[in-house]
Amino acid sequence: MIRLGIDVGGTNTDGVVLSADNEILASTKSTTTKDIFSGIKQTLAKLMEESKLNAEKIDVATLGTTHCTNAIVERKGLNRVGIIRICLPSGSAVTPLLDWPQDLVDQLDPVTLLIHGGYEYNGEPIAALEESELQNAVEKLKGEVDSIAITSVFSPVQNEQEKYVAEYLSKAMPEIPISISSEIGSVGLIERENATILNAALMSTIRRVSEGFQQALEQEGIQAKIFLGQNDGTLMTNEYAQKYPIYTIACGPTNSIRGAAHLTNEPDAIVVDIGGTTTDIGVLANSFPRQTSLAVEVGGVRTNYRMPDIYSVGFGGGTRIHREDNGWKVGPDSVGYRLMEEAKAFGGETLTATDIAIAKGQVHFGEPDIASFKDLPVDDIYETMTHVVEEAIDRMKTNSEDATVVLVGGGAALMPEALKGASKVIRPAHAGVANAIGAALGDISGTVERIYLLENDSYENIIENAKAEAVKNAVAAGADPNQIQIIQLEDFPLAYLPGQALLVKVKVAGPLKI
Amino acid sequence: MKWLNEEDIQHISIGAAVLGTGGGGDPYIGKMLALSAIKKYGPVKMVTLEELEDDHFVLPVSGMGSPSVLVEKIPSFDQLTAPLEAYEEAVGKKVDVVMPIEIGGVNSLIPVAVAAMKGIPILDGDAMGRAFPEAQMVTFHLDGLKPELVTLADEKSNVVSIKPADGIWSEKISRQITIVMGGSSIVSDYGISGKQAKESVIPDTLTLAQQIGALLTNERTAKIHPIVQMLEKLNGYKLFTGKAIQIERKIQGGFTRGKAIFEGSDEDKESTCQLFFQNEHLLAEVNGKPAAITPDLIAVLDEETGMPITTEGLKYGARVVVVAFPAHEKWRTDIGIETAGPKYFQYDYEYIPLETLAKEADQ
């Protein structure tokens, strides 16, 4: 099975082709283009040329995309969202979007409605749905919104009302996509509602991304099965991604950490991904990205997804170097994808981190015009740059011992051979396309979401059975049974059912068995 | 006297969740309730115990029930003030100052929301110096006071007043009412005079929570890890470092009950830690031996940032540090241990102070 992985970042579009035994057949790096898809097309063309493969040979094409993340962070191309919370008479003391950044709210241009309903923890309704409120919702939303997000109190326990309201609105507005919270998140009303609203806001973005990727593949004659990478390192089908674009959020750092793991075979390391604009630092623990146990904010919005524990600093190849009254300052702004036009080394006017690394002799790139750098304190500036990364590495450590550091990303070459706090610094071959490798190597997952009865079995047995079944599902979908790990495990007692019912959710994942 | 700003509230929510020992509610919900009320009704003034007049009428307001319910079923504004209004009507006088009954992520900030709505100050102090699961586990009870009147409200505009015989009955009856109300209610009890407050209230605990929250928020990049700084400030001990591998949790009898098992990492590799909770963490065992016992405080913190993780918020795979702090001296008395010690919660241990357990573990 031949796999193709593409990762579209803010600065670079990376691509890689992997053989059946995960050998790298071709890898390439193109500049991300403003329209994004000509960048993907360019990458695909280069990959096909380099690998000399027939396009029909490619079985699987995986896209790791930052489009959805960027749409939220940059507040661009978001849908107008109708927000319905089924909660009254509860919930009025904390209304939807209360702590969202105002500029993001302005972009969503939301219509927000609180209606009667929702459930108690035991599945009894807090209140019944009211026909008049549903009619009113149709009137308020029709023509005013592009998509709808519906959240009810305790819908992870009982989602009948969410489904009913979604169907009701869908009948009146069949063209409008609807997201319901029970399919998006777990217990925690505000975080689940936030994720559902973001999901609804991304409907057009994900459609553009997927259509563009499909077109680019078609133009190269590639008829592979299309997957998109998720933030937990697993893959989802294109059809699934259309309904749940929120799951693509933050898949970039996950992919680069996983790519680094594949390239080095190091089970434990600090992975430093230096791009054009930012450096993302993550931790590889037992061959998996270390995850944060805290609520993660996406573009200033609180969610309760488990995300890789990433610390980002504004440093990359395109980082501007500023002259200040008392010395030189590194970043945090960057020329981004305009590096090739704007950096001094390439004939531009802006002094960047790449220029300093060239002047220092760290990066070799043609014949640098040393004369233009001779008045600069290159050593000092280079030390400052290095220090920015070293400090960030230090921050991600959980003990004071020196750690293995793996440098990946387009800017990996900027750093010296040794770093403070690193027992060794590894710069693997193909480091520049680690995230595309991570995308291509996305895991196959298996899930179980089922109600078990505690009166029939012990808690431990139930959990073990659920895990075993999830593993079976993952293996059936193609995962390697020897490398499966649990990535999510939750249970919630359902007091409304007899026999001490327990709702168990398990997700396991492992690499594709070869 | 001090006006609480948005940053203070953020810090109180975090610090209170540490002192809330896993209970007392999700700090995010607490923060949102307070900020939402302040945004709508205006700022809140915090007063110290010394600033109270002896004849002031001081009333605690808090959330009762399972914190797992509160993260889904959020109160309405009317519900927040209904118990106070019922209390005022029954005793025939206006409340001058509200106070938190306990220090927890939500319960230190519900009274801030109520203070904003009523335009009255909040007292810098509480009746536990931490969070406990049951209504009689308050310094008022230790000092021989009775709740006299208890008022409860739900979001459906049900308001219930009871005149319980004592603190224990207050817990039993109001817990049942809370269950009927859907597992979560807003409560006022132990309305007291400023004079009595000065005798029984543990002072300056909101300020302490605010300082801890500021420390965890601002010292992330400090040379000394914020957890270490916090342990020093609270005379605490680090009990365990590890990863959550099993969490058994249910909403039962109006509480979130269960246990969590952690597998050790770093210096605790090969060790396991078990935490037992009833809303709050009550007992920590490392390798089957007690490491901290109620009424001493047990908190679970995110390993990297030191941010507190509540019992309802703990997830499989979370990497944590388990820490413990000595309880306020009022809890280490005979009546304190009888009220909130291990025997009360049916754990088969005698209370041993944290410092003694830590010394034994070192040997």
CA-nearest of A188, A92, A196, A86 to B36 is A92
pLDDT at residue number A437: 94
Please indicate whether, in this complex, the C-beta atoms of B320 and A293 are within 8 angstroms of each other: yes
Chain B residues with CB-CB distance to A387 below 8 A: none
**By CA distance, what is B180's nearest residue in A?**
A120
**A21: CB partners within 8 A, 6+ apart:** A514
Please indicate whether, in this complex, the C-beta atoms of B76 and A90 are within 8 angstroms of each other: yes
Distances (CA, A) of B15 to A105, A250, A482, B24, B26: 30, 29, 43, 12, 12
pLDDT at residue number A231: 83
pLDDT at residue number A394: 82
**By CA distance, what is B266's nearest residue in A?**
A399
pLDDT at residue number B361: 84
Reduced to 3 states (helix: H, G, I; strand: E, B; else coil), residue A483 is: helix
Beta bridge partners of A289: A284
Assigned fold of A81-201: Rossmann fold (3.40.50)
pLDDT at residue number B118: 97
pLDDT over 80 (residue B300): yes
Residue B246 contacts A, CB cutoff 8 Å: yes
Please indicate whether, in this complex, the C-beta atoms of A94 and B309 are within 8 angstroms of each other: no
Residue A120 contacts B, CB cutoff 8 Å: yes
Residues 329-358 in B contacting A (C-alpha not used; CB under 8 Å): none
Q: A344 or A98: whose pLDDT is higher? A: A98
pLDDT at residue number A398: 65
- Least confident piece of the model among A183-187, A385-389, A489-493: A489-493
Distance from CA of A278 to the nearest CA of B (A): 19
Q: In chain B, what are the domain boundaries?
A: 2-205, 223-362
pLDDT at residue number A349: 85
pLDDT over 90 (residue A85): yes
Question: Which pLDDT band holds residue A324 (cuts at 50, 70, 90)?
Answer: confident
pLDDT at residue number A370: 65
Residue B162 contacts A, CB cutoff 8 Å: no
**By CA distance, what is B113's nearest residue in A?**
A93
Please state, in angstroms and rounded to a whole number, the distance separating the CA atoms of residues A300 and B314. 22
Please indicate whether, in this complex, the C-beta atoms of B303 and A92 are within 8 angstroms of each other: no
Question: Which pLDDT band holds residue B110 (cuts at 50, 70, 90)?
Answer: very high
Question: Which pLDDT band holds residue B259 (cuts at 50, 70, 90)?
Answer: very high
pLDDT at residue number A439: 92
DSSP characters for B198-267?
HHHSEETHHHHHHHHHHHHHH-TTSSS-HHHHHHHHTT-EEEEEEEEEEEEEEEETTEEEEEEEEEE-GG
Q: What is the pLDDT of residues A454-510, one digit of tens each?
A: 887 888 899 999 999 999 988 888 888 998 988 888 887 776 666 677 888 898 998
Reduced to 3 states (helix: H, G, I; strand: E, B; else coil), residue B300 is: strand
Alpha carbon A125 to chain centroid, angstroms: 35
Residue B235 contacts A, CB cutoff 8 Å: no
Chain A residues with CB-CB distance to B34 below 8 A: none
Assigned fold of B2-205: CV3147-like fold (3.40.1610)
- Which candidate from B76, B156, B307 shows the least CB-CB separation from A93? B76
> Are the C-beta atoms of A250 and A298 separated by less than 8 Å?
yes
pLDDT at residue number A179: 97
Distances (CA, A) of B154 to A76, A374, B83, B255: 41, 74, 9, 16
> Are the C-beta atoms of A288 and A485 separated by less than 8 Å?
yes
pLDDT at residue number B117: 97
pLDDT at residue number A498: 64
Q: How many CB atoms lie within 10 A of CB B243?
A: 17
Mutation pick from A293, A390, A496 vs chain B, by most beta carbons of B within 10 Å, is A293
Q: State the Cα torsion B325-B331-B336-B338 to the nearest 10°.
A: 10
- Which candidate from A99, A154, A294 shows the least CB-CB separation from B72? A154
Q: Tokens 């008395």 correspond to what residue?
A: B333
Size of interface A-B (CB pairs under 8 A): 128
pLDDT over 70 (residue A67): yes
Distance from CA of A302 to the nearest CA of B (A): 10
- Least confident piece of the model among A234-248, A304-318, B84-98: A304-318
CA-nearest of A189, A180, A152 to A304 is A189
Residue B73 contacts A, CB cutoff 8 Å: yes
Q: In the structure encoding, which two tokens stand for residue B309, read together?
A: 């993780």
Question: Which pLDDT band holds residue A399 (cuts at 50, 70, 90)?
Answer: low
Distances (CA, A) of B335 to A219, B124, B196, B200, B201: 80, 25, 19, 14, 16
Taking the CA of residue A275 as centre, how many other CA atoms within 13 Å lie in the half-sphere pointing to its CB?
30
Q: Stretch A24-28: mean pLDDT, rounded?
A: 93
Q: In the structure encoding, which two tokens stand for residue B50, read together?
A: 């010394």
pLDDT at residue number A366: 62
Please indicate whether, in this complex, the C-beta atoms of B72 and A290 are within 8 angstroms of each other: no
pLDDT at residue number B201: 97
Please indicate whether, in this complex, the C-beta atoms of B72 and A189 are within 8 angstroms of each other: yes
Please indicate whether, in this complex, the C-beta atoms of A153 and B72 are within 8 angstroms of each other: yes
- Least confident piece of the model among A21-35, A463-477, B106-120, B192-206: A21-35
pLDDT at residue number A436: 93
Please indicate whether, in this complex, the C-beta atoms of A121 and B320 are within 8 angstroms of each other: no
**By CA distance, what is B267's nearest residue in A?**
A399
- Which candidate from A91, A92, A120 shows the least CB-CB separation from B183? A120
**By CA distance, what is B182's nearest residue in A?**
A120
pLDDT at residue number B30: 94
Residue A412 contacts B, CB cutoff 8 Å: no
Q: What is the pLDDT of residues B206-239, one digit of tens each?
A: 999 999 999 998 876 667 888 999 999 999 999 9
Please indicate whether, in this complex, the C-beta atoms of A489 and B316 are within 8 angstroms of each other: yes
Residue B180 contacts A, CB cutoff 8 Å: no
pLDDT at residue number B317: 81
Please indicate whether, in this complex, the C-beta atoms of B182 and A463 are within 8 angstroms of each other: no
Q: Which helix (H) or strand (E) holds B142?
A: helix B139-142
Residues 193-222 in B contacting A (C-alpha not used; CB under 8 Å): 220-221
Superfamily of chain region B223-362? CV3147-like (2.40.390.10)
Please indicate whether, in this complex, the C-beta atoms of B28 and A302 are within 8 angstroms of each other: yes
| Predicted TM-score (pTM) above 0.80 | yes
pLDDT over 80 (residue A87): yes
Q: What percent of chain B has pLDDT over 70?
A: 99
Chain B residues with CB-CB distance to A489 below 8 A: 316-317
pLDDT at residue number B294: 95
Chain A residues with CB-CB distance to B36 below 8 A: 93-95, 98
CA-nearest of A495, A514, A445, A434 to A473 is A445
DSSP characters for A409-475?
STTGGGS-S--TTEEEEE--TTGGGHHHHHHHTPBEEEEEEEEEETTTS-HHHHHHHHHHHHHHHHH
Q: How many CB atoms lie within 10 A of CB B1?
A: 9
Q: What is the pLDDT of residues B33-53, one digit of tens each?
A: 999 999 999 999 999 999 999
Angle at B313 between CA B309 and CA B314, to 5 degrees: 70
pLDDT at residue number B221: 62
Q: Which helix (H) or strand (E) holds A211?
A: helix A203-219
Q: What percent of chain B has pLDDT over 90?
A: 81
Distance from CA of B195 to the nearest CA of A (A): 33
**B297: CB partners within 8 A, 6+ apart:** B19, B21, B130, B236, B324, B325, B326, B327
Distance from CA of A101 to the nearest CA of B (A): 14
Beta bridge partners of A27: A16
**What DSSP designation does A234 have?**
B
Q: State the Cα torsion A459-A463-A468-A471 to the nearest 10°.
A: 180
Q: What is the pLDDT of residues A430-447, one digit of tens each?
A: 998 999 999 998 888 888
Residue A489 contacts B, CB cutoff 8 Å: yes
> Are the C-beta atoms of A122 and A152 separated by less than 8 Å?
no
pLDDT at residue number A310: 84
Q: Which helix (H) or strand (E) holds B284?
A: strand B280-286
Question: Which pLDDT band holds residue A249 (cuts at 50, 70, 90)?
Answer: confident
For strands B319-325 and B297-302, give the pairing.
antiparallel
Reduced to 3 states (helix: H, G, I; strand: E, B; else coil), residue B187 is: strand
Distance from CA of B245 to the nearest CA of A (A): 9
Supply the mean pLDDT for chain B.
93
**A104: CB partners within 8 A, 6+ apart:** A72, A75, A78, A299, A300, A301
- Which candidate from A118, A126, A493 shows the least CB-CB separation from B250? A493
Share in percent of chain B as helix, strand, coil (round to 5):
35, 30, 35
Question: Which pLDDT band holds residue B276 (cuts at 50, 70, 90)?
Answer: very high
pLDDT over 70 (residue A16): yes
Distance from CA of B345 to the nearest CA of A (A): 22
Question: Which pLDDT band holds residue A293 (cuts at 50, 70, 90)?
Answer: low
Chain B residues with CB-CB distance to A448 below 8 A: none
Please state, in angstroms and rounded to a whole number, the distance separating the CA atoms of residues B172 and A4. 63
Residues 363-402 in A contacting B (C-alpha not used; CB under 8 Å): 395-396, 398-399
Mutation pick from B69, B154, B155, B262 vs chain A, by most beta carbons of A within 10 Å, is B155
Chain B residues with CB-CB distance to A486 below 8 A: 316-317
Q: What is the pLDDT of residues B147-184, one digit of tens each?
A: 999 999 999 999 999 999 999 999 999 999 999 999 89
Please state, in angstroms and rounded to a whole number, the distance separating the CA atoms of residues A170 and A141. 11
Mutation pick from A90, A489, A490 vs chain B, by most beta carbons of B within 10 Å, is A90
**By CA distance, what is A485's nearest residue in B?**
B317
Q: In chain A, what are the domain boundaries?
A: 81-201, 443-510
Please indicate whether, in this complex, the C-beta atoms of A90 and B33 are within 8 angstroms of each other: no
**By CA distance, what is A401's nearest residue in B?**
B266
- Which candidate from B182, B266, B316 shows the least CB-CB separation from A120? B182
pLDDT at residue number B334: 96
